[in-house]
Structure 1
Amino acid sequence: MSMLSLRSHVPDDIITAADRLPGQADVVVIGGGIIGAAAAFHLAGAGLSTVLLEADKLSSQQSGRNWGFVRTQYRDPLELPLALEALALWPKLERELETTVGWRQTGCVFVAATQKEMAAFAGWHDKTRDIAREARLLSASEVTALLPPLRGRTEGALYTASDGQAEPVLATTAFARAAARRGARIVEDCGALAIETSGGAVSGIQTEHGLIRCSAVVCAAGAQSHRLLAPLGLSLPQQSVRSTVSLSAPLPPLSEACFCGFGIGLRQRADGSCIIAADSTSDIDLSLDSFRAARFFLPGLLRHGSGFSLRLGRPFIDDLHQRLAVPHRERAVARRPRIPANSRLAASTGAAVRDLFAGAAGIEIVKSWAGRIDVLPDALPVLDAPTEIGGLVVATGFSGHGFGLAPAVGRHVARLAKGEPAAAILAPLRLDRFARGTYSAPHAPL
């Protein structure tokens, strides 16, 4: 993959004229996660000259740090049509992208430890049975048959055999490499400072290393999206939470299906190693920025406070330093320190897996990491072309659900960037739902 790195400490004289930042493109995609990479792939495939900008490295943020679930199961009913569209595309991706993405159709199972959880699964199943036709409820005995190593009593489960899993970094880089083969320019270490407009329409992107003139922009910048949209008069009530994930050494078969239950999430990879995390448990690193749009999030925090841990530490100091020392529009590209994993949570999650599954007694945690999940008040993404700014497409706020949606999102982004009308399934994902007050509470805890 031909890529240009423009990290600021690289002397200008070692960047050849041919490698300089592109001065013009039809469309610029901001964000080198899987959403941005998939968008670039489809945009280049539509014949548009495309530049993909990433302030760090491809897949360096949440797209390379998530669980790797590809699920339709227990999605918000408003998001479910998009998830079903994406699931139909995943089995074809390796052929389309000409490389492996680690796709395996292993199913997904959510086990109910309590009658309350089982009632929630049954309610979702009843509401979505006409569209989520592969999902079914399992009795406690059926759970035992599906998961022989699982210890403890269950109340049943929700199971979708057609769901699956893939490897986050492989899938993200596969989209980017395929986009490059289609002619897209991929520029790493180059953050977007501002979206430039003229006459109410996009005219370019001001980057750390110069201006790229363009008539369309895709804002897929994850947790930095609100900073880029605010100067355009577009309010995005976006916050972020820190999620810790661990990788175990290979273990005997525990669960072929992606597993959630008893407070943990687990995905057993092809080599037997397991991606594990605490389910619906995240850290909120308090900063001055935490109070922006707090009114949108306070009701959910009060309802599900046990799932969040409020922490005051280094992020607060870093935020204060940025406000005092970094010009406002440069904060979107300020180099962020490594995101620390919650070592205590990683250890307790490993212990929970050991206790929950026969065969996991010798579990060894190889490494742990953390990622910042950008969240919106209803835990649904924004996928929209706001009428206020011609040529702008927003694809952000996926609230930890974006990995599995990416193949479909990329297609919709390309259509929106070409000026085509939004598909009906995108109506609940409009940006203005927050200004209009038409959003609802999250379907499940963030």
Structure 2
Amino acid sequence: MTDSVAVVGGGAVGVTAARELAARGADVTLFERGDIASESTGRAAGICYDAFAGRTDAAVAARAMNRFRELAAETRFSFRERPYVWLARDGDERKAEAIREQVPRMRERGRNVDLLDAADLRAEFPTLATDDVAVAAVAWDAACADPAEYAAVVAERAADAGATIRTDTEVGVTSDPAVVTSDGTVDFDAVLVAAGAHARPLLAEAGVAVPIKAYRVQALVTEPIPGGEGLPTLYDASGEFYVRPRDGGVLVGDGVERRDFDPDDWDRTADDAFVEGALERIDVSLAPDVDRPDGFDRAWAGLCTATPDRDPLVGEVEPELFVAAGWHGHGFMRAPALGRTVAGEILGDDGIAAFDPTRFDGDEQFPVVEGMTVE
């Protein structure tokens, strides 16, 4: 019987796991080096959808969407339904063909997605620029949310279920398993490392190597524009950027740097070149008669994590030492499902074989591929 569990990391996945563990009777302590959602979760875009072609990914996404909606019905968490559009531009036949191939596979998985030509796209979403669109797809089961709000609400629910939440507490991890704090070493029956970009160095302290790379991403929110909240979420596969309504303006995500970053030494501010390019990307995304923002409200950078096969590491990596990391930017949208999955595995349930972290040796070399990439 697993009686005591330490969860290291107070992001969306960590708080979800802590809540599930506590609700099932475990003695849970969550350790977060800053505030809840102060790292990758608080810097995430909050885009959610179930449009995956793989069987496992589609099932996980569907569970996550259902649980987001359940939480929104029961708490102050806001989950706004919003279609998710992705497209390829004229001249980008490789990605256009990838979209044409994806949609039938998604529909085979029961996903509510449609393939659209430029005329169909214009009719459904007149606020988008469509003149040079080769092909588009839309996922109707999609939404947007505030990731920090989700984490705060679920952390409160975890505490209500009996979990101890220790913020501003930096820890180390040993293979015993135990957690090392400034007050000493605390033994647990199991330890879950759900610390995003910090997962690899934390597990290395315990003598465990995992193939995770941290890569830098950037985002910007513009000043409000008339009708901004009526836009769909859009991923431009040819331009490799996404836009979504946020706070009355438009959130733009891009600026991916595909190399490994030190999670303790990186620039959290957005680059000037990214800011200038982001405003240009909004201009090419919107139909001519849609108002453009005059400027931006805020911009920032964040870290995402990558693995060799673009699937996360979720499960037991050493006896009673568990990991949940390597999300390729999809950690928030999967958190309600995979936080519960790893909590269940800690308590003796089956995990997801495709995400088993022991499928790797830990020293693999691999290129970073951004999560929304269409191939």
Q: Mark yes or no: TM-score above 0.5.
A: yes
Q: 3-state SS of the aligned residue for 1:393?
A: strand
State the partner residue of 1:430.
356
State the partner residue of 1:28.
6
Report the Cα distance in structure 1 between the residues aligned to 2:285 and 2:271, rounded to whole angstroms. 21
State the partner residue of 2:135.
156
CA drift of 1:213 comes to: 2.2
Report the Cα distance in structure 1 between the residues aligned to 2:256 and 2:245, rounded to whole angstroms. 21
Q: Which amino acid aligns with 2:306?
A: V
Contact map agreement 2:53 2:106 (CA 8 A) in 1: no
Report the Cα distance in structure 1 between the residues aligned to 2:365 and 2:65, rounded to whole angstroms. 25
Structure 1 position 398 matched with structure 2 position 327: yes
Instruction: Return 5+ residue gaps in structure 1 as ranges.
Output: 1-24, 291-314, 320-331
Structure whose residues are more often strand by fraction: 2
Contact map agreement 1:355 1:361 (CA 8 A) in 2: no
CA drift of 1:252 comes to: 2.5
Q: 3-state SS of the aligned residue for 2:180?
A: strand
Report the Cα distance in structure 1 between the residues aligned to 2:182 and 2:58, rounded to whole angstroms. 38
State the partner residue of 2:211.
237
Q: Which amino acid aligns with 1:353?
A: I
State the partner residue of 1:10.
none
Q: Which amino acid aligns with 1:367?
A: R
CA drift of 1:184 comes to: 1.1
Q: 3-state SS of the aligned residue for 1:129?
A: helix
Report the Cα distance in structure 1 between the residues aligned to 2:243 and 2:160, rounded to whole angstroms. 34
Taking a change above 3 Å as real, the CA distance of residues 397 and 172 of structure 1, as seen in their structure-2 partners, is same
Q: 3-state SS of the aligned residue for 2:126?
A: coil
Structure 1 position 265 matched with structure 2 position 239: no
CA drift of 1:405 comes to: 0.5
Larger deviation, residues 129-138 vs 71-80: 71-80
Give matches, 1:38-437, under 5 Å: 38-74=16-52, 78-96=56-74, 98-100=75-77, 102-114=78-90, 115-151=93-129, 152-197=131-176, 202=177, 204-253=178-227, 256-261=231-236, 263=239, 264-269=241-246, 271-278=247-254, 281-284=255-258, 290=260, 339-357=268-286, 358=288, 359-386=290-317, 388-389=318-319, 391-422=320-351, 426-435=352-361
Deviations 1:44-65 (A, max 9, x none): 1111111111112211111011
Q: Which amino acid aligns with 1:257?
A: P
Deviations 1:81-110 (A, max 9, x none): 2112111211111234x222x201112110
Larger deviation, residues 432-441 vs 340-349: 432-441
Contact map agreement 1:194 1:228 (CA 8 A) in 2: yes
Report the Cα distance in structure 2 between the residues aligned to 1:78 and 1:233, rounded to whole angstroms. 30
TM-score normalised over the length of structure 2 = 0.88
Contact map agreement 2:269 2:299 (CA 8 A) in 1: no
Contact map agreement 2:99 2:135 (CA 8 A) in 1: no
Taking a change above 3 Å as real, the CA distance of residues 345 and 75 of structure 1, as seen in their structure-2 partners, is farther
Contact map agreement 1:350 1:363 (CA 8 A) in 2: no
Taking a change above 3 Å as real, the CA distance of residues 76 and 234 of structure 1, as seen in their structure-2 partners, is farther
Report the Cα distance in structure 2 between the residues aligned to 1:439 and 1:240, rounded to whole angstroms. 13
Q: Which amino acid aligns with 1:103?
A: F
Number of residues of Structure 1 aligned to a counterpart in Structure 2? 362
Identity %: 25
Contact map agreement 2:249 2:293 (CA 8 A) in 1: no
Q: 3-state SS of the aligned residue for 2:81?
A: coil
Report the Cα distance in structure 2 between the residues aligned to 1:126 and 1:438, rounded to whole angstroms. 33
Report the Cα distance in structure 2 between the residues aligned to 1:84 and 1:437, rounded to whole angstroms. 32
Taking a change above 3 Å as real, the CA distance of residues 132 and 208 of structure 1, as seen in their structure-2 partners, is farther
Report the Cα distance in structure 2 between the residues aligned to 1:345 and 1:76, rounded to whole angstroms. 32
CA drift of 1:165 comes to: 1.1
Larger deviation, residues 428-437 vs 363-372: 428-437
Contact map agreement 1:39 1:410 (CA 8 A) in 2: yes
Taking a change above 3 Å as real, the CA distance of residues 282 and 69 of structure 1, as seen in their structure-2 partners, is same
Taking a change above 3 Å as real, the CA distance of residues 121 and 438 of structure 1, as seen in their structure-2 partners, is farther
Deviations 1:312-335 (A, max 9, x none): xxx7xxx7xxxxxxxxxxxx8x6x
Q: Which amino acid aligns with 2:9?
A: G
Report the Cα distance in structure 1 between the residues aligned to 2:52 and 2:98, rounded to whole angstroms. 10
Q: 3-state SS of the aligned residue for 1:79?
A: helix
Q: Which amino acid aligns with 2:169?
A: C
CA drift of 1:74 comes to: 4.3
Q: 3-state SS of the aligned residue for 1:250?
A: coil
Q: Which amino acid aligns with 2:83?
A: G
